[in-house]
Amino acid sequence: MLPVVIGAFLVSHLWKRSGVLTDNELTELRYGGRPAAALRLFRALYFGVLRNAIVIGWVNLAMVKILSLALGLGEDQSLLVLAGLFVLTVGYTLMAGLLGVVLTDFLQFGLALVGSILLAVLALSEIGGLSVLIDRLGEERSLLQIVPRPSDGEAFWAFLAYVGIKSWSSGNTEGNGYTAQRILATRSERDARLASLWYAIAHFALRPWPWILVGLVAVIRYPGLADPEEGYVRIMLDVLPDGLLGLLLAAMLAAFMSTIDTQLNWGASYLTHDVYARFVAPDADAAQRVRVARASVVLLAAIGAGATLGMDSVAGAWKLLATISAGTGLILLLRWLWWRINAWSEIAVMTSSLVGANLIERWTELAFPFSLVAVVAISIPVALVVTLLTPPESSPVLERFYARVRPAGAWDPVAAGLGLPPRRLGLRPWLDVGAATLGIYAAIGATGSLLVGDSPLALVGGIAACLLLGFAIRGARTVPD
| Residue 398 belongs to some domain of the structure | no
pLDDT tens-digit map of 182-228:
888 889 999 999 999 998 898 888 888 888 888 888 888 888 777 77
Q: Is the dihedral of CA 315, 318, 320, 322 positive or negative?
A: negative
Greatest mean pLDDT among 107-111, 339-343, 347-351 lies in 339-343
| Residue 95 belongs to some domain of the structure | yes
Per-residue pLDDT band at 391 (split at 50, 70, 90):
very high
pLDDT mean across residues, the chain: 84
| Residue 428 belongs to some domain of the structure | no
| Residue 303 belongs to some domain of the structure | yes
Q: What is the DSSP string of 42-99?
A: HHHHIIIIIIHHHHHHHHHHHHHHHHHHHHT--HHHHHHHHHHHHHHHHHHHHHHHHH
CATH of the domain at 112: 1.20.1730.10
Please state at what angle helix 343-363 crosses helix 33-45, rounded to 10 degrees.
40
| Residue 321 belongs to some domain of the structure | no
| Residue 424 belongs to some domain of the structure | no
141 vs 414: which has the higher pLDDT:
414
- Structural domain that includes position 244: 11-155+175-312
Residue 97 has what pLDDT? 66
Residue 312 has what pLDDT? 64
Instruction: Judge whether 300 and 294 are in contact, CB under 8 Å.
Output: no
pLDDT tens-digit map of 90-128:
776 777 666 666 777 777 777 778 888 888 888 888 888
Residue 145 has what pLDDT? 67
- The number of distinct structural domains making up the chain is 1
pLDDT tens-digit map of 77-89:
777 777 787 777 7
Contacts with 117 (C-beta within 8 Å, 6 or more apart), sequence order: 210
For the ranges 59-73, 141-155, 449-463, which has the lowest average pLDDT?
A: 141-155
pTM equals 0.84
| Residue 450 belongs to some domain of the structure | no
| Residue 118 belongs to some domain of the structure | yes
